[in-house]
Structure 1
Amino acid sequence: MVSLEKITPNNYRECLNLKVTEEQKHFVSPNVLSLAKAYVYDDVVPFAIYNESLMVGFIMIRFNKEQNNSFIWQFMIDEKYQSKGYGSKALGLAIEWMKKNSRCHEIVTTYIDANDKAKKLYEKYGFQQMGELTDGEVDMVSYI
């Protein structure tokens, strides 16, 4: 069963060991950078994605006060566990968490234009493109 668990002193090292494929490295920031941002910003919640007791990925959510929305700031599944449905299940769980824990009515995310898997996944959950492509990134929004 897929679940989201907050990153803690007990599991952050395991999160740092998660990797995407070489071809995907330009699609996501390294987890060490994301965890540093989570440490600096008080409105960020980093989650490990687990399948049972095995960490398979990472997702980080930020409540953006200026825009009054929730922002999926980082989302990745380790290369060994891709194409098994974990990303889709984790995104669904993250959306449910944001609905319960957020004061806003929209979720925003960004993906690199060439990342067709990310585009299809976000569209599956009702995300729509916002505006024009900016610096190779596509902004998407889902209303909750």
Structure 2
Amino acid sequence: MQHLTINEVTVHNFIPVINLKLAESQKNHIASNVYSIAESKVNPCFTPYAIYLGEEVIGFVMTDYDQTLEDKNKYWIPRLMIDERYQGKGYGKLAMNIIIENLFSNDDCSCIRLSTEPSNVSAIKFYESIGFVQTGELLEELEVILQLNKEKWFSSARL
């Protein structure tokens, strides 16, 4: 079985990352990878990553860290996508586990947040299967916010 790794987006993996494709039904639920990478160039809190299966780029994830915010809002995962050819094989969950472990390794990370459209039921179910819970809050009155607490993460059984 090939190994899943996550590496920052660079000039060397930029083209494969922007060429990743979503399933048609998902295209209206997430910003494009090229938009997300552009966003990371004007917002230094964002870090874009390529998800690799062996030597092949199969997905994209972006983290958001702002040390000036209150604890519950310091760490976010604003983007995650797996190429349509690799969906349904557990790679998204494995990638999230890697990112979550990396973020929780920071002493000031007590929780991780993310958001999605309320109509994106499959994404909500996916994030809840990892351990995220809906907070009842809305991001910019448009998206539901989900949160994963560090103590819950380390006390639960994972993938």
Q: Would the TM-score normalized by the shorter structure come out above 0.5?
A: yes
Other-structure match for 1:67? 70
Look up the equivalent residue of 1:29 and give its one-letter code.
A
Separation (CA, whole Å) in 1 of partners of 2:125 and 2:5: 21
Residues 31-73 of structure 1: per-residue CA shift (max 9 Å, x gap): 1110011111112211111111111110000013323321001
Q: Which runs of 5+ in 1 are unaligned?
A: none
- Between 1:64-73 and 1:120-129, the stretch displaced more is 64-73
- Counterparts in 2 of 1:79 and 1:102: CA distance versus 1, 3 Å: farther
Other-structure match for 1:122? 127
Total equivalences in the alignment: 144
Instruction: Answer with 1 or 2: which has the greater Rg.
Output: 2
Separation (CA, whole Å) in 2 of partners of 1:102 and 1:121: 27
Other-structure match for 2:31? 29
- Of Structure 1 and Structure 2, which has the larger fraction of its residues in strand? 1
More relative contact order, 1 or 2 (CA 8 Å, 6+ apart): 1
Q: Which runs of 5+ in 2 are unaligned?
A: 151-159
Identity of aligned residues (%): 35
Look up the equivalent residue of 1:139 and give its one-letter code.
I
Query: Secondary structure in 1 aligned to 2:37?
Result: helix
Other-structure match for 2:155? none
Residues 61-100 of structure 1: per-residue CA shift (max 9 Å, x gap): 0013323321001111111111111101000001011012
